[in-house]
Structure 1
Amino acid sequence: MFRNYFTLFHAAGELHETLARGTLTGVHSQEKNQLVLSFLSRAGEPLELTLFIRNPKTALFMRSGHHRKKKQSASLWRISEDDTVQSVAISPVDREITITLQSGLSIMLQLFATNSNAFLLEKRTVIDAFKNSTILKGTHLPEQQESSSIIEQLDSLADSLADFEELLQQHNGDIEHTVAALPGFDRKLQRELLTRLENHHPATALHSHFRTLLHELQNPHVQTGRNQDGAPEFSILHSPLNESLQHENILQGLAAYSIATLRHTGTAMQEPPLRSTLTERLKKIRKELQTINPDAVAAEAQKNEISGHLLIASLYLERTRPESITLTDIFSPESPPRTIPLQRELNLQQNAEHYFQKSSKGKGKIEGLLKRRKKLEVEAAELEAELAGMTAEEPSDARQRRKSTGSAAQKKTAERLPFKSIRISDTITLLIGKNAADNNTLTFQHARPNDIWLHARGTSGSHCVLKGASPDHSDAIQKAAAIAAWHSKAKHSGLVPVIYTLKKHVRRGRNLPPGQVVVEREKVLMVKPEKELP
């Protein structure tokens, strides 16, 4: 919605109010497919208007200040520098915003998704173009035909049910074709209107929904939010977005959306190498865990100790072979005779002492192995949680993490986690808040909209977030609910009611302290509190 005609219509009006009678101080490019126009408003405020070319996720935004880099920045269209801005207007029939300068030059911004471009014009002749300049220089843009504007055509249809029914008849009553023929309605607006219509297909119902939607487009509620995958969204419609933030005007909303999109896109581009690093580390940990077997070490230590005792008990026997000796196992008479390897240079007593030393070293390793296994299990759980929630973090947090050195687990030892993690299955992890502030951080920073959110009902306790699961994973939700019940003040009750819902149905309440939330569309499970997985 950031690039549709109605958003750009309002943006052009705000640009005119801001830039008219101001000065275009320069045009430059310092990033691929980005054109920056620098202005001084008539009040003397420095401003930058950035245009994104061939970027399907953002179009343009304005911000205060001049931010040109000293290096790797190319000046463009110097002939237009220090020219006064007369007006900013959008084409009445297309997504073209024209900045008219006092000298007679103008800059046209064509905002056609991946085919966007910018032109320096003298009347309708292209002096220069940001993209495909060699081909387009000197060409003459066709004059705009005199016709009703998009807004006028839509207002006429909104005011007259008869005209709207005529449009419907022109398309043989086909609703989708009629909606596609509405001027200025891109595919997203077409889908929005069809969704609102649902199964009510009479012309009067379609006309009513069209009038309502047009009213919203002409009286925008500017907001940004995030979709279910965490990607930024922009809207001027009145229905709220997920994680909606309201903005005073179109330019402010576009700036917030564009910056969030650039950060999100930058994180997404750099995340695969990071994910690969964490995944590789997790594989190494799991491989090492497979080699840690304290029981086998204990059994080997016991075997060496028995060998030592058998050798001591057999000092009186003659040694017939230098490399081994076969003895009756006095500790297990029913077992077959045991052959004990010997070191040639040592006598039987010295070999016995050697076995006792090996047994002692083995027993000494067991405690270290248990500690090592516990440490690796904790690190593996943290890595699993980090991988499961990687897309949940803010881009700035991701960039900060990439600047750090060492493994993810090393960072976790330096920075306290706001949650503990429990592995429910190979793909599902439960995150558990540690206190009220951590609950708030877990729910509103680490959890994604479609994660499962759990909490003991009617009592205080930890916020719990189940990652990697959907509402269909009933067994995993049941296990998570039992653990959530344990991490509440009702942990010693026989049965505890636990609510669960998608995180997108959990929101902050006005004037509520950290950790307290408003929950909607919840379901309830009666569970027996469980500290560990059964």
Structure 2
Amino acid sequence: MSFDGFFTHAMVKELNDTLATGRVSKIHQPYPGELILVIRANRHNQTLLLSANPTYPRIQITDVPYRNPKTPTKYAMAMRKYLEGAILESIKQLDNDRVVELAFDTRDELGDAQNLLMYVEIMSRHSNVSLVNTATNKIIDTIKHVSGDQNRYRLLLPGATFVMPPKQENKLNPFIANQAYADLALKHTDVKELKSELQTVYQGLASDTASYLATQLIDSDNTPQTYQEFLQHFDHPTPTLTKTPDGKVSFSVFKPDTIGEQISYPTLSALLDGFYTEKSQLDRTRQVAGQLIQIISNILKKDYSKIKKLNQTMEDTKKADQFRIKGEILTTYLHKIEPGMTEITLENFYDNNSPIKITLSNQLTASQNAQKYFTRYQKLRNAVAHVEEQLALTNQEVEYLESIQSQIELASPADTEEIKLELQQQGYLRENQNKKKKARVTISKPEEYTATDGTTILVGKNNLQNERLTFKVANKDDIWLHVKDIPGSHVVIRDSNPSDETIQEAANIAAYFSKGRDSAHVPVDYLPVKRLKKPAGTNPGFVTFTGQTTLSITPDSQKVNELRTK
């Protein structure tokens, strides 16, 4: 289902139960549009994520680790000034809308009590997080500044008077007792019509939630009971992630009547972590690595065009003998060529004297026309070796850059620094010459997983990590895995004789961290590290090997997450 008003209702209840009366201990802004509040509540530190990301806006407790920037943003500094040490008194939803209000009690610089409100608006590209002084109703700061040119209804700038987003006029709050559902259900027998009417009458009802409710009401013999049971889902949720056979993934507060794999989670926040982690990480990585993605895309575009032209030249070289034959025939019959002719038909003594039409230039003599054909023949013959060499080099570059693209798709934002360093080392990026001292990038450790039997499995997330893992960290008798013939991570089992189950689990990780992660059957090679070779002059992470064993794997993200070392 969508993060609509109903889901917001359920999430606010969960947050209140977990965080109310907690104290804000730390504040970070790891990415644009996202704020992290670490709140000490019930003797536990809870990480509250407030996201105004236009694609994945939400509010939740998260267990996903974040790497904070070395220099905090101005917004993060402002939030620290006003909220560090503050008590989170309550969290509430405004009506049944996607607006959440967090009420804080704190003290100002003089030690006087101060009440602050933070509004989290979960509204796609209009999402925002605003901190407001209740005494003056003035905005202290917003995570996204919105000027009058962008929104005539209200300003979202520091110092401006805070104006609430427009309300859903003439719509009922479904959690306040009313009988509208009964009248609507009696009026309609068509699910689509009832769904449309429900959305017109009730606040915060997204299309998918409305479809579910409409179906339940029409199929029910007891409309009031069905409606109340529907509402109770949001006060007593059963967080469920559903994967349908066509590959679609959705989340809901109840177990839907849908065919597919269903995974239960203990909390709504854990459910959102399971649903959003990969999606939002990819989005953040694209933001951080935007320049790298653009540079690689431009180079690949040129390479694809170059390969097309080179292949066309290779096709033309196959016609080289035709130019030689025409040149020799013209040389033989020079006496038949008259000045000003543009074409001539002669006997082809290479093909049983069958006639052959030869194009001529009326600006050239007979001998010059023949020489022209010999020149084109020689040029094409000489081009073969050069074109073959250029094709090999260009295809090699395409394969390398496509592997970098895949790594960016699989990388965390922190991994992009190492990918950037590699591209600098390979000459695709210029190093910043303005810095007096170049920041030294330390190659991070490979990601660690633990097999069911306790064996350690290591995974490289980019070429520099792959290189270091395979040739510096791994022992010669460890088992090395990699997907067959497509870009992917190097995976090492820290055991010379792992169990079949461990090999299967490591192969699943290798398939998951590859370009084939969405495929049904991914071939994975494995062999001892000692059989790997690193050809001189090749790119980082490139290896050759023989004597491998290959098995077929269907990547399972849930199993990968279960094996991740905490």
Q: Aligned ranges for residues 200-215 of structure 1 at < 5 Å? A: 201=218, 204=221, 213-214=230-231
1:250 corresponds, among 258, 262, 268, to: 268
Q: Aligned ranges for residues 83-482 of structure 1 at < 5 Å? A: 83-91=86-94, 93-94=96-97, 95-101=99-105, 103=113, 105-113=115-123, 114-122=126-134, 125-126=137-138, 128-130=140-142, 131-136=156-161, 150-153=174-177, 164-168=181-185, 175-180=194-199, 181-194=201-214, 196=215, 201=218, 204=221, 213-214=230-231, 216-223=233-240, 234-239=251-256, 246-266=264-284, 270=290, 271=293, 274-293=296-315, 294-297=317-320, 368=385, 372=389, 375=392, 394=410, 396=412, 404-405=422-423, 418-420=483-485, 446-447=515-516
Please report how far the alpha carbon of residue 281 of structure 1 lies from its aligned counterpart in structure 2 after TM superposition.
Answer: 0.9
Please report how far the alpha carbon of residue 16 of structure 1 lies from its aligned counterpart in structure 2 after TM superposition.
Answer: 3.3
Change (3 A) 1:98 1:149: farther
Answer whether contact 2:105 2:115 (CA < 8 A) is retained.
Answer: yes
SS at match of 2:278: helix
Structure 1 stretches lacking a partner, 5+ long: 143-147, 158-162, 311-328, 343-354, 422-434, 456-460, 464-502, 512-534
Partner amino acid, structure 2, of 1:280? K
Partner amino acid, structure 2, of 1:83? A
Change (3 A) 1:68 1:393: closer
Matches of 1:393 and 1:127, distance apart in 2: 38
Please report how far the alpha carbon of residue 73 of structure 1 lies from its aligned counterpart in structure 2 after TM superposition.
Answer: 1.9
Partner amino acid, structure 1, of 2:121? L
Change (3 A) 1:227 1:284: farther
Change (3 A) 1:126 1:255: farther
**TM-score with structure 2 setting the length:** 0.50
Matches of 2:165 and 2:485, distance apart in 1: 63
Bigger radius of gyration: 1
Matches of 2:93 and 2:558, distance apart in 1: 40
Matches of 2:350 and 2:259, distance apart in 1: 75
What do the CA deviations read for 1:55-98 (whole angstroms, capped 9, x no partner)? Answer: 25222343468965442422225344323334444456444232
Partner amino acid, structure 2, of 1:166? D
Answer whether contact 2:9 2:96 (CA < 8 A) is retained.
Answer: no
Answer whether contact 1:49 1:62 (CA < 8 A) is retained.
Answer: yes
Matches of 2:187 and 2:3, distance apart in 1: 28
Please report how far the alpha carbon of residue 287 of structure 1 lies from its aligned counterpart in structure 2 after TM superposition.
Answer: 0.4
Partner amino acid, structure 1, of 2:318? D
**TM-score with structure 1 setting the length:** 0.52
Answer whether contact 2:307 2:391 (CA < 8 A) is retained.
Answer: no
Change (3 A) 1:242 1:135: farther
Answer whether contact 2:116 2:132 (CA < 8 A) is retained.
Answer: yes
What do the CA deviations read for 1:410-440 (whole angstroms, capped 9, x no partner)? Answer: x9xx99983458xxxxxxxxxxxxx998799
Matches of 1:243 and 1:381, distance apart in 2: 38
Change (3 A) 1:58 1:223: farther
Partner of 2:56: 57
Matches of 1:218 and 1:11, distance apart in 2: 9
SS at match of 2:237: coil
Please report how far the alpha carbon of residue 288 of structure 1 lies from its aligned counterpart in structure 2 after TM superposition.
Answer: 0.9
Answer whether contact 1:35 1:51 (CA < 8 A) is retained.
Answer: yes
Matches of 1:203 and 1:462, distance apart in 2: 49
Partner of 2:492: none
Partner amino acid, structure 1, of 2:14? E
Matches of 1:330 and 1:510, distance apart in 2: 72
Matches of 1:9 and 1:168, distance apart in 2: 23
Partner of 1:14: 14
SS at match of 1:76: helix
**Which one is further off, 173-182 or 376-385?**
376-385
Please report how far the alpha carbon of residue 282 of structure 1 lies from its aligned counterpart in structure 2 after TM superposition.
Answer: 1.0
Answer whether contact 1:129 1:136 (CA < 8 A) is retained.
Answer: no
Partner amino acid, structure 2, of 1:260? E
